[in-house]
Structure 1
Amino acid sequence: MQNPNSVKQFPIYHLEPDETGNKYFRVYNFEGTLPHQSELLIPHRKDHFLIVLVRKAGTRQWIDLQPYILKNNTVYFSGPENIIVKEEFQQLWSTGLAFTSQFLSLQGGEFLLTLPFLQNVQNAHELLLTEPDIAFVEDLLMKINTEYQHPNEWQQRMLMAYLTLLLTYLSRLYTEQYKANDPAGDKILLKKFQSKIDDSFQHCHEVGDYASMLNISAGHLSELIKTQSGKPAIKHIHDRLILEARRLLFHSSKSSKEIAFDLGFADASYFNRFFKRETGITPAQYRNQIREMYH
């Protein structure tokens, strides 16, 4: 039986309303100081997108098991599905934009969710900038910051216009930096399939389950996904299960049996065999290795 609470493995931090009451869009500016917030040391998810231009920093953070020592003049980004841990609290010079999918919807910008930068199918979280990129992004952030500081009847539309330009520009950089593995623009079925997996992987482990959701046959789905991605449909499902298992093994104290239950496995021993088949080591070995490596 599926645990109805298993989707909430980690705390979810909401976008706090600013002084105007806006709970869908915020601008953050740090100039040499970074407030110590102990809850950020806890593995967590956010319910919004976060884009940060780091001008200068020495802080290290983790996004989905990947450590990042923040580089100067670099963009870092995350979305609602990512697990984040901030390790060190040092000085930081940066500007951050936080916005929810509701903000995009309210301003007629749902189409932005299809941009490569927000879809982030490569699970990348760092964009390196050239000097021209820095100038362009800095100029846009300055315009956004100025607009954000002066509420008026046109503010939300102006913020949306600037954000659209920024996300479009960052999507171009994203496809350039990750073009070796970037999927073709017409792979709509693959994106829908991956989205369904993200929503249902804890209780749907078979290709047929997703084929039913997408109203096609399991065989046809398997054929198309293999053509579009280069790997079988079942491998996409297994990879998502393994990613979540690794997250839980690293960030939580749950036993393998508890993790197996959370991921929809009725038999813990089968989960152990599945994990070893996919990774080459047992869950216990993975937990020991990853914690020894990074602690």
Structure 2
Amino acid sequence: MSAIPVKSKIPADQQLKISPFKEVIKPTVPHKHANYYELILLEQGGGYHQIDDHQYDVSPPTAYFLKPGQTHCWNFSCIPIGFVILFREELLTRECLDIVYHLPTTISLSNSPSLFELAKQFCQDYRIPASQGVLNTYLQLILLKMNEEMATPAPGHQLFSPVYYQFKALVNEHFLKIKKIQVYAKMLHLPPAQLTSICKTASGKTPGMLLNERIVLEAKTLLSNTHLSIKEITDALDFSDASNFVKFFKLYTNLTPGQYRELAFSRQQ
């Protein structure tokens, strides 16, 4: 069975890394990154960037933001130039954590040329290496400047809901095997009703809806980026049989898995 590979570009005991983007034109294989965020600042380049089930044109200057567990791949038509910043959630301040939770997948940087100079200096000091405090400050400054670039800045702390994002992180980690909301509530030391209230306040959706959305996203990723059979995907997603998987998928997409795969493959040609 050939599922989506998981790559780790940062050691388990490291919280932050910055490096220049590889200046090569070479399509990458769809893959995931586990347990860390990836922020890509592209000053030059062309082609497209596939993230989960969406395809984005590479139109620099642009930032791309990937959360743990997302699937992505590149297909460049001209040399990319920029920086890749990898970081873990533990080192963020509350203010920056709030920004990270609300960052969109793509952000235009056309009004922020100084951000690339900042990233260049960040990269140089990382190589020295500078102290962890200095490096953390570079990351915080970049996040704050990106927040200013967003059309709709991250909301104030009055909407900050750590439990909601803790739940989302747990779902992202365990959705393949844990399908009961009561189990997630127990992991968060909350009554299920309170977890439901928190999720509905933060997103307008119940915990069950959020869990099912994550399962559907994984199904789409496997259908569009692998040649696994429907039976193999059924097993990978821990459905009892293919019939139940097909019904579930069609309920959320109005397409059968086979129809979705045909459309996904046709878009890639």
TM class, shorter-chain normalised? 0.7 to 0.9
Q: Structure 1 residues 155 and 63 mapped into 2: Cα distance closer, same or farther (>3 Å)?
A: same
Q: Distance in 2 between matches of 1:15 and 1:143?
A: 21
Q: Distance in 2 between matches of 1:227 and 1:50?
A: 28
What is the CA deviation profile of residues 58-117 of structure 1, one whole-angstrom value per residue up to 9, with x for unaligned ones? 12121112111111222223233221111235222x22133242xx75xxx243796244
Counterpart in 2 of 1:221?
Answer: 195
Counterpart in 1 of 2:244?
Answer: 270
Say whether residues 1:96 and 2:76 are aligned partners.
Answer: no
Q: Distance in 2 between matches of 1:55 and 1:221?
A: 42
Say whether residues 1:43 and 2:24 are aligned partners.
Answer: no
Q: Distance in 1 between matches of 2:95 and 2:215?
A: 24
Q: Structure 1 residues 169 and 115 mapped into 2: Cα distance closer, same or farther (>3 Å)?
A: farther
**AA partner of residue 88 (structure 1):** F
Structure 1 stretches of at least 4 aligned residues deviating more than 6 Å after TM superposition: none
Q: Distance in 1 between matches of 2:68 and 2:199?
A: 25
Q: Structure 1 residues 42 and 209 mapped into 2: Cα distance closer, same or farther (>3 Å)?
A: same
Percent of residue pairs identical:
23
Q: Is the 8 A contact 2:18 2:123 kept in 1?
A: no
Q: Is the 8 A contact 2:10 2:17 kept in 1?
A: no
Q: CA deviation at 1:276?
A: 1.0
Q: Is the 8 A contact 1:49 1:77 kept in 2?
A: yes
Say whether residues 1:162 and 2:141 are aligned partners.
Answer: no
Q: Select the residue among 64, 83, 90 that pairs with 1:76.
A: 64
Question: What are structure 1's unaligned runs of at least 5 residues?
Answer: 1-5
Q: CA deviation at 1:24?
A: 5.0
Q: Structure 1 residues 172 and 115 mapped into 2: Cα distance closer, same or farther (>3 Å)?
A: farther
Counterpart in 2 of 1:171?
Answer: 147
Q: Is the 8 A contact 2:25 2:76 kept in 1?
A: no
Counterpart in 1 of 2:106?
Answer: 126
Q: Is the 8 A contact 1:42 1:85 kept in 2?
A: yes
Q: Distance in 2 between matches of 1:149 and 1:243?
A: 37
Q: Which moved more, 1:201-210 or 1:182-191?
A: 182-191
Question: What are structure 2's unaligned runs of at least 5 residues?
Answer: none
- Tell me how many residue pairs correspond in the alignment: 266
User: What TM-score do the two structures reach when normalised by structure 2?
Assistant: 0.84
Any idea what SS the aligned residue of 1:41 has? Answer: coil
Q: Structure 1 residues 110 and 44 mapped into 2: Cα distance closer, same or farther (>3 Å)?
A: same
Q: Is the 8 A contact 1:15 1:23 kept in 2?
A: no
**AA partner of residue 62 (structure 1):** Q
Q: Distance in 1 between matches of 2:66 and 2:33?
A: 9
Any idea what SS the aligned residue of 2:159 has? Answer: coil
Q: Structure 1 residues 65 and 197 mapped into 2: Cα distance closer, same or farther (>3 Å)?
A: same
Structure whose residues are more often strand by fraction: 2
Counterpart in 1 of 2:3?
Answer: 9
